[in-house]
Amino acid sequence: MAALDQTQVKEGVDQETVDAVREVGGAYKYGWETDIEMEYAPKGVNPDIVRLISEKNEEPEWMTEWRLQAFERWEKMDEPDWAMVSYPEIDFQDQYYYARPKSMEVKPKSLDEVDPKLLATYEKLGIPLKEQMILAGVEGAGDTPEEGRKVAVDAVFDSVSVGTTFQKELKEAGVIFCSISEAIREHPELVKKYLGSVVPVSDNFYATLNSAVFSDGSFVYVPPGVRCPMELSTYFRINAENTGQFERTLIIADKGSYVSYLEGCTAPQRDTAQLHAAVVEIIVEEDAEVKYSTVQNWYPGDENGKGGIYNFVTKRADCRGDRAKVMWTQVETGSAVTWKYPSCILRGDESQGEFYSIAIANNMQQADTGTKMVHLGKNTKSRIVSKGISAGKAQNTYRGLVSMHPKAKNSRNYTQCDSLLIGDKCGAHTVPYIEVKNNSSRVEHEATTSKVDDDQLFYCRQRGMDEEEAVALVVNGFCKDVLQALPMEFAMEAQQLVAISLEGSVG
Amino acid sequence: MALPEAKQTATEARLAALTLPEGGCLAAARHAALSRVQTMGLPGRRDEYWKYTRPDTLVQADVPEAAVFETGEPPMFNDFDRLKVVFVDGVFDAEASDDLSLEGITIERLADAEKKDIHWAKDLYGVLEARGQTPVQRPLAALNSAFATDGVVIHVTGKPSKPINLIYRHADTGSDAILHHVIRVDAGAEATILENGPAAARFNKCMEIDVADTGSLHLVRAQGRDHERRAATHLFARLGKESVFKSFTLTVNGVLTRNEAVIELTGDDAVAHIAGACVGDGDFHHDDTVFITHDALNCESRQVFKKVLRNGATGVFQGKILVKEGAQKTDGYQISQSLLLDDDSQFLAKPELEIYADDVACSHGSTSGAIDEEGLFYLRSRGVPKAEAIDLMTLAFLAEAVEEIEDGDVADAIIARLQGWLARRH
């Protein structure tokens, strides 16, 4: 990509990093699949499958029970239909709920024992599972310590966690970062206490299904007063065909702690749609702060809407203690259908919730995404900045709730949702719910919809840019508020993604 | 699809208490409307579109009683030169009304028009209402089309010299009125319609308006003067090329009010402004639900809604701008704001945009909060007493909505009412 080739690469930057970023250019670059021998549970979902998943993860009895109860509830629930998305009916019995590489049958004790094919997969994705410094060295990295920045990675491949890096170093700091299956075995008291406490088992159709069949995911516990020494990240890769990925993430930030968490995801290019239904629960105690950033780049399907991932995700953070703070940042560029509302429950007094989102839908993509800010405590603050971009024949909806409860005195919310339309066959929609039940709180909501400004385009073109470049630049400017909120490595990737996703949408 | 059992039962109970008027040229339209009601079922509290307003008392077969409220002040628009059309508890009162003939306009009672074999109203009655049932269902409007017992059909052919004033009086504590008006504005014609009064203990009103190319209609209504009444009103308007439709609603008091406006801009360069100011005190629930569809080039729509709430009053706003594919150069604007004068009141809003065209400028804003302390301090530091300062700021807050009224005299009359309401609460 021209824009990338011109990027000034700072001296001393690892060629690998540059290449990894270059990988991002062009069309969907993660559409390849890893040829690896897999082991599947039988197709479909029923109590036996639930038990099987539980057994494969060597879970204690209480966990199996918990899953079975969830399954029982799920059977009585209906798929929600209120979102502005349409897709063929999903046959929940016609897919695999558990798939793991054969080589993972015996849990590798360290990363050295992991199947090289798996390591190569992540290498190719630009997520080296080696305990090495991820050299940032891109613009804005001025504050990076000389030895570079460390990011611990938990890599999830289909239904299982392949490995987690930097575990030892994190342990020294007191931080627990491991796969959720390991946490259930090693830290049952924490899991028992917090699992399902933010997103209850019967929260919604997909969350309930997830509770029954989640196969793996990440677990983070940051003890009181600890500032997590490095950024944590989980990389989700769907590889097997006809397989749903159901992962569960549980993050607990104890009093006065801080953690920044990154999430990335990709999948191979296939003709049939695949289901991804994750649940993320975050507990933020007094004075703690959690930053959760996502770059969602699941395979979006082809230009005719064939294939792609159905991304039905429930994410919620509970600010339990006073002055707790949570920040969601998401860049949604992938998935055929997105149904995702990362939310904040602001329970503690003076707690804060922030939501920054860029949702880009091109071709036949459909995105229905937004947030909920539930203000329960006094002097709570929330801010929502959502930028939706539609191109091709895509539909992009912002759906959100801001609720000020009677006891949430002196609370503030500011919401800004902007939509940008590129082309006359796409749609952009805004569905905010605003509920104000006391008068000392102030709520402001603003939304605009417009097309790419002709004057701005003209200006760029007159300076010698071609039309696509000019659109990318204008769009990047439109997204600036959100991109700025991302951790630096992500911001770089996201900026590239914004350009790629819109390729071919001009004219 | 079968209706949920509770909805089915409620709908049947309501329908059993009503009789379908038979015969006349509107019989087919009434039967079609009835079957729409039967298919949709009447609204229930679990319906998404009634998320913030409980429809129970509007739906139930028995009418919740409402005492007749005597304010002691003269009715709204009393001093205006106007043509009066009076309804008492939903029944046309010929004696209290003026002579209905006026140059440039034809006014007939619905019952009279219905008796004729051929009448232009047949092309509109229940037709715009039926169009307005998608994508969101409005069963109470279909119920109205089926069972309306009275109303007027108005044909604006020129530029009548004075406004038509539809006056709704409430006399019986248990009255249940269903009124249906049809208004057709010819090309180049222009008229103003004023409406006021509480109408009945329970009032279901439907107005279907068809404005032809270059036609123009102004509608100003004042709802209120009755604390216990309940009302569900629907306004369906279809606008032709270069036509103009402006509506303003003042709502004062009333236990429950649900005002729905469904506007369709079907001709290029049409303009629709829908505004509302409401002041509520105590047991007051007010709901503005607006749906504007842009289906032509270069149209303009404005929604301006302001609510002042105190003593546990509730204000609801559900507004939507739908821009269809190809409706380029649309200019859509929507603002909904509430001023909560105390901590018990609440504001619930759902301002929506649904846009399928790229060359448009649509924006919406929604805010809620208390009186600005700094502004209050400024006024008080200039020697304005606190109560007066609050009134001034409240009126200033409502002004943006009142300014949507073009006729200065009407706007002044509305402002006087608002001042009176505030003064009585010192």
Q: Which among B342, B364, B368 is the nearest to A443, CB-wise? A: B368
CA distances from B133 to A350, A480, B28, B36 (A): 45, 41, 18, 9
Partner-chain contact A447 B356, CB within 8 Å: no
Amino acid at residue number A242: N
- C-alpha angle B214-B215-B218 in degrees, rounded to nearest 5: 135
B360 to chain A: closest CA residue: A450
Percent of chain A whose predicted confidence (pLDDT) is above 90: 47
- pLDDT exceeds cutoff 70 at A137: no
* Distance from C-alpha of B202 to C-alpha of B172, rounded to nearest angstrom: 10
Interchain contact A18–B (C-beta under 8 A): no
ipTM confidence score: 0.89
Give the model's confidence band at A100: pLDDT under 50 very low, under 70 low, under 90 confident, else very high.
Answer: confident
The tokens describing B334, both together, are 């929507």
Size of interface A-B (CB pairs under 8 A): 117
More confident call, A266 vs A138 = A266
B349 to chain A: closest CA residue: A434
Q: Under a CB-based contact definition with an 8 Å cutoff, are residues B375 and B159 in contact? A: no
B333 to chain A: closest CA residue: A448
Q: Coil, strand or helix: which one is B312?
A: coil
Per-window interface: A 64-103 vs B, CB < 8 A: 82, 84
* Distance from C-alpha of A293 to C-alpha of A262, rounded to nearest angstrom: 5
A409 to chain B: closest CA residue: B343
- pLDDT exceeds cutoff 90 at A422: no
B368 to chain A: closest CA residue: A443
The tokens describing B354, both together, are 């649904």
Residue B409 CB neighbour total at 10 angstroms: 12
Torsion over CA of B65, B66, B68 and B74, rounded to 10 degrees? -150
The number of angstroms, rounded, from the C-alpha of B177 to the middle of its chain's C-alpha atoms is: 16
Partner-chain contact B369 A441, CB within 8 Å: yes
| Sequence-ordered strand ranges (E) for A333-441 | 337-340, 343-346, 352-361, 366-369, 372-375, 381-391, 395-404, 412-422, 427-436
Question: DSSP labels for A42-105?
Answer: PSS-SHHHHHHHHHHTT--HHHHHHHHHHHHHHHT------SS---PPP-TTSSBS-EEEGGGS
Partner-chain contact A439 B361, CB within 8 Å: no
Partner-chain contact B342 A426, CB within 8 Å: no
* Distance from C-alpha of A249 to C-alpha of A283, rounded to nearest angstrom: 11
Average pLDDT (B390-402) is: 95
Smallest CA-to-CA distance from B177 within B206, B201, B141, B142 is with: B201
Residue with tokens 């769009």, as numbered in its chain: A475
Interchain contact A44–B (C-beta under 8 A): no
Q: Coil, strand or helix: which one is B223?
A: strand
Quick one: which H or E segment has residue A408? Answer: none
Average pLDDT (A152-165) is: 83
Domain ranges of chain B: 5-371
Over residues B334-378, the pLDDT tens digits come to: 999 999 999 999 999 999 999 999 889 898 999 999 999 999 999
Smallest CA-to-CA distance from A108 within A97, A99, A96, A117 is with: A117
Q: Coil, strand or helix: which one is A203?
A: coil
Interchain contact A455–B (C-beta under 8 A): no
* Distance from C-alpha of A430 to C-alpha of B352, rounded to nearest angstrom: 5
* Distance from C-alpha of B19 to C-alpha of A173, rounded to nearest angstrom: 78
Average pLDDT (A345-356) is: 96
Q: Under a CB-based contact definition with an 8 Å cutoff, are residues A42 and A53 in contact? A: no
Four-residue CA torsion sign, A472, A478, A484, A487: negative
The pLDDT assigned to A505 comes to 56
Interface mutation target, options A390, A399, A430, A444, chain B, most CBs of B under 10 Å: A430
- Provide, as residue numbers in chain B, all residues whose Cβ is less than 8 Å from the Cβ of A446: 363-365
Crossing angle between the packed helical segments A61-75 and A47-56, to the nearest 10 degrees: 150
The pLDDT assigned to B331 comes to 95
Residue A403 CB neighbour total at 10 angstroms: 20
First to last CA, chain B: 54
* Distance from C-alpha of A321 to C-alpha of B395, rounded to nearest angstrom: 41
Candidate from A122-136, A237-251, A449-463, B232-246 with smallest mean pLDDT = A122-136
Q: Under a CB-based contact definition with an 8 Å cutoff, are residues B371 and B393 in contact? A: yes
Over residues B66-92, the pLDDT tens digits come to: 999 887 788 899 999 999 999 999 999
Contacts of B105 (CB under 8 A, 6+ apart): B154, B155, B156, B157, B158, B160, B164, B191
Angular region, B199: left φ>0, alpha ψ -120 to 50, beta rest:
left
A454 to chain B: closest CA residue: B359
Over residues A472-487, the pLDDT tens digits come to: 788 878 877 777 777 7
Residue B364 burial (10 A CB sphere; 0-12, 13-18, 19+): buried
- Smallest Cα distance from B354 to chain A, Å: 4
Residue B392 burial (10 A CB sphere; 0-12, 13-18, 19+): middle
- Provide, as residue numbers in chain A, all residues whose Cβ is less than 8 Å from the Cβ of B345: 439
User: Mean pLDDT, chain A, as a whole number?
Assistant: 84
- Smallest Cα distance from A211 to chain B, Å: 27
The pLDDT assigned to A428 comes to 92
B316 to chain A: closest CA residue: A435
CA distances from B174 to B16, B62, B177, B184, B308 (A): 18, 9, 10, 33, 29
Q: Under a CB-based contact definition with an 8 Å cutoff, are residues B342 and B310 in contact? A: yes
Quick one: which H or E segment has residue B210? Answer: strand B202-211
* Distance from C-alpha of A359 to C-alpha of A87, rounded to nearest angstrom: 19
Q: Under a CB-based contact definition with an 8 Å cutoff, are residues A485 and A356 in contact? A: yes
- pLDDT exceeds cutoff 90 at A149: no
Partner-chain contact A434 B349, CB within 8 Å: yes
* Distance from C-alpha of A201 to C-alpha of B111, rounded to nearest angstrom: 58
The pLDDT assigned to A482 comes to 77
Give the model's confidence band at A148: pLDDT under 50 very low, under 70 low, under 90 confident, else very high.
Answer: low
Interface mutation target, options A375, A434, A455, chain B, most CBs of B under 10 Å: A434
The tokens describing B171, both together, are 């006399």
Strand partners, A265: A236, A296
| Sequence-ordered strand ranges (E) for A143-278 | 151-157, 160-164, 176-179, 218-222, 231-237, 248-253, 258-266, 273-276
Q: Under a CB-based contact definition with an 8 Å cutoff, are residues A88 and A310 in contact? A: no
Candidate from A112-116, A321-325, B89-93 with smallest mean pLDDT = A112-116
The tokens describing A371, both together, are 């947030």
- Provide, as residue numbers in chain A, all residues whose Cβ is less than 8 Å from the Cβ of B351: 430, 432, 434, 445, 447
- pLDDT exceeds cutoff 80 at A506: no
The pLDDT assigned to A142 comes to 36
Partner-chain contact B369 A423, CB within 8 Å: no
Q: Coil, strand or helix: which one is A499?
A: helix
Over residues B287-342, the pLDDT tens digits come to: 999 999 999 999 999 999 999 999 999 999 999 999 999 999 999 999 999 999 99
Strand partners, A227: A258
Partner-chain contact A427 B356, CB within 8 Å: yes
Average pLDDT (A184-212) is: 95
Interchain contact A430–B (C-beta under 8 A): yes
The pLDDT assigned to A480 comes to 79
Partner-chain contact A432 B48, CB within 8 Å: no
- Smallest Cα distance from A424 to chain B, Å: 5
Beta-strand pair B91-92/B83-88: antiparallel
Over residues B150-185, the pLDDT tens digits come to: 999 999 999 999 999 999 999 999 999 999 999 999
- Residue A91 phi/psi, 5-degree rounding, is -90, 105
- Provide, as residue numbers in chain B, all residues whose Cβ is less than 8 Å from the Cβ of A82: 48
Query: How big is chain A by its Cα radius of gyration, in Å?
Result: 22
Question: DSSP labels for B242-309?
Answer: T-EEEEEEEEE--SEEEEEEEEEE-STT-EEEEEEEEEEESS-EEEEEEEEEE-STT-EEEEEEEEEE
User: Mean pLDDT, chain B, as a whole number?
Assistant: 95
Q: Under a CB-based contact definition with an 8 Å cutoff, are residues A243 and A274 in contact? A: yes
Query: How big is chain B by its Cα radius of gyration, in Å?
Result: 21
Smallest CA-to-CA distance from A371 within A406, A400, A413, A332 is with: A400
Give the model's confidence band at B47: pLDDT under 50 very low, under 70 low, under 90 confident, else very high.
Answer: very high
- pLDDT exceeds cutoff 70 at B128: yes
**DSSP type of residue B32:** H
- Smallest Cα distance from B297 to chain A, Å: 13
